[in-house]
Amino acid sequence: MSLSLFNLSGKRALITGSSQGIGLALAQGLAAAGASIVLNGRDAVKLDEAADLLRLDGLDVSTLPFDVTDHAAARAAVDGFEAESGAIDILINNAGMQHRAPLEDFPAEAFQRLMQTNIASVFNVAQPVARHMIARGAGKIVNIASVQSALARPGIAPYTATKGAVANLTKGMATDWAKYGLNCNAIAPGYFDTPLNAALVADAEFSAWLAKRTPAGRWGQLPELVGAAIFLSSAASSFVNGTTLYVDGGITASL
């Protein structure tokens, strides 16, 4: 009985920004738990390569390329998929980007790109998906936040702003949509070895600082995010709503 709570068989999950990094790792993890996976990104070629990689393991995968920063495109893609292929039971809003610069020199255009990619996209995709979920009286929405939802570091103030907004938008989604049977939560990864963090992983001084700063003493590895994603996507989290689950090796718990 207890293990069946985590079974995602018969469920379909749309994961944005899933051609690499955290999104691809979560796609692999949810598929292994039984879900059918819909990969999303702007680059159809990269999506097809990622889908082929998952299919080598016998996983059920399809692709849905669209630009998450374009509200009309996201709505058209979601509505079209629902009409042609069936229900999206789980949405993981993972698409994101980073830009590092001192705040006093931060390019305005980079600020706008961060806002569109990291926070507007969460609204753009969640709204049309939620409309279908509301009609069915059930659905799981998982937004990817960050330790920067709670903490800041020099050079990434706009990124920090977007991830704080993701955590608060998650609370708003739960407040509006829980009454319709939706569970809306967020995962806040700590410092993980991903393409987005490649420059930091390669920086020996930063990695040494991180090991001292993090109680677990190391970078996180992508498979370590999968359990949280399965929990928040499954029946095991049926009364969990509006929360942000930190998967960070203890960095937000310690000074």
- The CATH number assigned to the domain holding 130 equals 3.40.50.720
What sign for the dihedral angle of Cα 56, 59, 64, 69? negative
Per-residue pLDDT, averaged over 79-84, amounts to 98
Count structural domains, the chain: 1
- Asked whether residue 255 is assigned to any structural domain, the reply reads no
pLDDT band at 21 (very low <50, low <70, confident <90, very high): very high
State the pLDDT at residue 1. Answer: 56
Residue 156 pLDDT exceeds 90: yes
- Asked whether residue 172 is assigned to any structural domain, the reply reads yes
State the pLDDT at residue 7. Answer: 97
Amino acid at 82: E
The β-bridge partners of 140 are: 90, 183
- Asked whether residue 152 is assigned to any structural domain, the reply reads yes
> Per residue in 236-252, pLDDT tens?
999 999 999 999 999 99
- Asked whether residue 207 is assigned to any structural domain, the reply reads yes
State the pLDDT at residue 111. Answer: 98
3-class secondary-structure state, position 140: strand
State the pLDDT at residue 70. Answer: 98
Report pTM: 0.96
CA nearest to 187, candidates 131, 235, 240, 137: 240
Tokens of 8: 């995602």
> Which amino acids are annotated catalytic?
159
Residue 148 pLDDT exceeds 80: yes
3-class secondary-structure state, position 38: strand
- Asked whether residue 150 is assigned to any structural domain, the reply reads yes
CB 163 within 8 A of CB 151: no
Instruction: Please state, rounded to an integer, the average pLDDT across all residues of the chain.
Output: 96
- Asked whether residue 254 is assigned to any structural domain, the reply reads no
pLDDT band at 196 (very low <50, low <70, confident <90, very high): confident
Per-residue pLDDT, averaged over 122-145, amounts to 98
Q: What is the domain range of residue 216?
A: 3-248
